[in-house]
């Protein structure tokens, strides 16, 4: 029996991916576990493995294709003893529900007078619109959202996708022909006003005075998640200044005492950010009411502190997670953070290495930013924005003194973390930073 190869969902937020390259060609024998192709997601480059044995009968999506929807058929494997050429000519059935690579193809009947005629592809379940005037409309989620924002009547749009499905370019084309395309008057939205379509924005600039750079999947996903977070999470912010003099002295002593490897290089080099990760993890354990995640049904109270670390990569941002950071030494956190950051920039992280987490650290201090407020990264309930450390005049025991001060701002999800709880968390964090020996006990 032949099997479909589907575009896999490599993370909960993934809706589509880029088929970077095929590692097998049509006619190649396939064994279970063989790597068939490489998929580029918004976060990383992943491999698609075969779940069954057979022959790669047909490649339906060529390598280099961008924005392939999750669960679309990208190829087909012929089963043992089957003729790959015959199977590739039969026509394929698009799965109408979520499946995995290796889902069997459904049997098809030829139409009278049309031997081996391919059956039509079944439209994806998520694209199904409600019946209107007795006729079903099929539209992608993005097309539905754009039509709602612009007040465009979907019944007036002709779809160019599979089986007449309405996709993004159909909406854009219809808007370009407005008002003839059926744009109706819409009441002002109750929520935030959506951004104008790209064509309206371009009209504000002189033609030829700008360059258009298409959004890649990472930028699109970041934009969507940040807008959702800013609109749906009730943020509040708490700021504090931390005296780093004791921490810097301890850091210098620990780095000086680091053992050397065979090449003579230190086996670790602890940064201020490593202390921040450790201090925030310990603070979450000591203030367990802040170590939570909000859901509509329940509050998830975590037993360990998984701390994400914001890493800038070409085209966007990713937050690999140091798991159970409260249990790890500073040297272990340092080495793990460096490894995660390097693999993040190479887009080699596994989904479980950047999903979830209790909180996150976003540090712009190395860029000279004194202070800032960060947007919470769902499903986390807090994020700590770390600014640059610098010498300032302070009053110590009634006398002026100079100290190295670092400003931090804690963003909290008010549904999960109340003001007093957030203040306690930041107070414990500040105490650990200013008395860093407590992190070593």
Catalytically active residues, by annotation: 414
Residue 278 CB-density burial (10 A; 0-12 exposed, 13-18 middle, 19+ buried): buried
Q: Cα dist. 269→53, 232, 265, 272, 438 in Å?
A: 48, 39, 10, 10, 20
Q: Are 72 and 7 spatial neighbours (Cβ–Cβ below 8 Å)?
A: yes
Whether 32 and 52 have beta carbons less than 8 Å apart is answered as yes
CA distances from 169 to 62, 157, 197, 419 (A): 21, 11, 12, 45
* Whole-angstrom distance, CA of residue 236 vs CA of residue 241: 17
Q: For residues 200 and 212, what is the distance between their CA atoms, to the nearest angstrom?
A: 14
Give the burial class of 171: count Cβ atoms within 10 A of its Cβ; 0-12 exposed, 13-18 middle, 19 or more buried: buried
DSSP state of 257: T
Cβ-in-10-Å burial (0-12, 13-18, 19+) of 255 comes to middle
Spatial CA neighbour of 38 closest among 81, 4, 1, 68:
68
Do the Cβ atoms of 276 and 327 come closer than 8 Å? no
> d(Cα 300, Cα 289) in Å, to the nearest integer?
10
* Torsion sign (Cα): 27, 28, 29, 31: negative
| 33-38 contact pairs (CB < 8 A, 24+) | 36/5, 36/75, 36/101, 37/63, 37/74, 37/75
C-alpha span between 232 and 295 (Å, rounded): 12
> How wide is the angle at C-alpha 268 spanned by C-alphas 263 and 274, nearest 5°?
160
Q: Please state, in angstroms and rounded to a whole number, the distance separating the CA atoms of residues 274 and 433.
A: 11
Query: How far from 268 is each of 72, 223, 322, CA to CA, in Å?
Result: 45, 36, 16
DSSP element (H, E) containing 226: helix 217-232
């Amino acid at each position: 029996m032949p099997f479909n190869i589907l575009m896999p969902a490599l993370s909960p937020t993934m809706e589509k991916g880029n088929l970077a390259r095929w590692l097998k060609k049509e006619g190649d024998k396939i064994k279970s576990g063989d790597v068939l192709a490489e998929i580029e997601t918004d976060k990383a480059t992943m491999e698609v493995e075969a779940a069954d044995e057979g022959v790669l009968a047909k490649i339906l999506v060529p390598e280099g294709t961008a924005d392939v929807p999750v669960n679309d058929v990208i190829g087909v494997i012929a089963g043992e003893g089957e003729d790959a050429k015959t199977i590739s000519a039969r026509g394929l059935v698009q799965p109408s529900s979520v499946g995995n690579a290796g889902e069997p193809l459904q049997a098809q009947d030829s139409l009278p007078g049309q031997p081996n005629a391919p059956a039509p592809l079944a439209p994806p379940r998520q694209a199904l619109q409600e019946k209107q005037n007795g006729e079903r409309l099929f539209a992608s989620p993005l097309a539905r959202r754009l039509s709602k924002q612009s007040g465009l009547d979907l019944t007036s749009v002709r779809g160019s996708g599979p089986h007449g499905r309405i996709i993004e370019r159909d909406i854009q084309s219809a808007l370009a022909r407005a008002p003839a395309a059926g744009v109706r008057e819409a009441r002002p939205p109750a929520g935030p006003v959506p951004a104008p379509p790209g064509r309206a924005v371009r009209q504000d600039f002189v033609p030829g005075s700008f360059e258009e750079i298409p959004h890649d999947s990472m930028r699109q996903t970041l934009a969507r998640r940040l807008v959702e977070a800013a609109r749906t999470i009730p943020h509040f912010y708490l700021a504090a200044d931390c005296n780093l003099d004791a921490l810097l002295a301890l850091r210098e002593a620990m780095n000086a005492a680091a053992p050397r490897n065979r090449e003579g290089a230190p086996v670790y080099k602890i940064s201020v950010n490593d202390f921040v990760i450790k201090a925030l993890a310990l603070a979450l354990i000591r203030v367990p009411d802040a170590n939570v995640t909000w859901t509509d049904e329940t509050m998830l109270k975590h037993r360990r502190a998984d701390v994400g670390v914001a890493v800038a990569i070409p085209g966007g941002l990713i937050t690999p997670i140091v798991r159970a950071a409260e249990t790890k030494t500073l040297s272990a956190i340092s080495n793990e953070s460096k490894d995660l950051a390097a693999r993040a920039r190479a887009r080699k992280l596994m989904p479980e290495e950047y999903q979830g987490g209790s909180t996150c650290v976003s540090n712009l201090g190395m860029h000279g930013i004194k202070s800032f407020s960060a947007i919470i990264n769902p499903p986390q309930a807090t994020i700590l924005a770390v600014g640059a450390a610098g010498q300032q005049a302070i009053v110590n025991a009634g006398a002026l003194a100079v100290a190295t001060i670092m400003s931090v701002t804690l963003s909290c999800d008010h549904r999960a973390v109340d003001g007093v709880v957030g203040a306690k968390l930041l107070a414990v964090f500040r105490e650990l930073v200013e008395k860093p020996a407590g992190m070593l006990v």
